[in-house]
Each structure stands twice: as C-alpha cells, then as structure tokens.
Amino acid sequence: MTTTDARPTATGAPGYTETMPCEPASARRARLLVSAALSAWGIGELAEAGVQIVAELVNNAINHTRCRVFRVLVTRPGAGVVRIGVADNCADVPEVGDFDDDSEGGRGLFLVDALSRRWGYDRKRWGKVVWAELEVPPPC
C-alpha cells in the first residue's frame, strides 16, 4: 500500500495533508501531523484539543468504514479558524452515538462536539470528509 508523507497543500487555504492506511497505528501519525501543523502555525496551545479531535475522527474511519486508506487534512480556512478533517470513501454519515454510564464506546463525536467550535461533514462524490473546527485565539 502506498502512503504519502505529510506535505503542505499547494493551493487553497494553508494546510497540511497526509494519506494513511486505515489501521489503528495511523491514529498516532494523525496526532503527530496535527500537532506539527499547529506548532508550525504558532498555535501549539490548540494541540491538546486538536490531537484528541483527530484521534476520534480517525477511530471513526477505522471502526465504521471499510476504507483501505483515509486522508487527514489540517487547514486554516480563515485567520481565526483551524479545520481538522478526515476523508474516507464511505458514504455513511457520522452520528453522535447513544451511550450510558456503563458504555465503553459511543462518545467520540460527543467529545468532538465538546472540544470544537463546530463540526460536521461534507458529502463528496467519492465519500465524505468529517471535520471539526477550532477557534484560534487572537494574538496578544
């Protein structure tokens, strides 16, 4: 299987992207990519929330799709926003799970919702991109 190294996006909003195999070990690579991008942009204080968000989105792609690869995207669509996304080729849309105090799972998107300014998904002809946005604090 072929994967690409993380690289800055060539066009559009500033960002970093990497294609990864749809396997649990990729969650670590995704967290490192998000952390590195946020540090490169001088907003490392968002790393804790950012790495948790990408871990949840990656775990959803691994556990709820039959994808062979997925793509992690970290972009700056505006000065005050960072968008973290995971693209896969599954058309099924994400839903916040039902869980109770004894549940071991089902909290991923609930956590993404709590950590992010907003989250959602964009349907594509080939699948979808699930994303979450973090608000960038104004410079001091």
pLDDT tens column, 46-103: 999 999 999 999 999 999 888 899 999 999 998 899 999 999 999 888 877 665 555 4
pTM comes to: 0.85
CA 79 vs CA 13, 55, 76, 116, 135: distances in Å: 10, 24, 7, 16, 9
Query: Taken in order 9, 58, 60, 65, is the CA torsion positive or negative?
Result: positive
pLDDT value, residue 3? 42
Percentage of the chain lying above the pLDDT 70 cut: 83
| SS3 state of residue 62 | helix
pLDDT value, residue 31? 97
Mean residue pLDDT of the chain comes to 87
- Could you give all domains of the chain from N- to C-terminal order, each with its CATH number? 7-135 (3.30.565.10)
Answer for the pair 130, 57: CB distance below 8 angstroms, yes or no. Answer: yes
pLDDT value, residue 2? 38
* Size of the chain, expressed as the number of residues it contains: 140
Provide the token pair at 2.
Answer: 């072929």
pLDDT value, residue 93? 84
35: pLDDT confidence band, cut at 50, 70 and 90?
very high
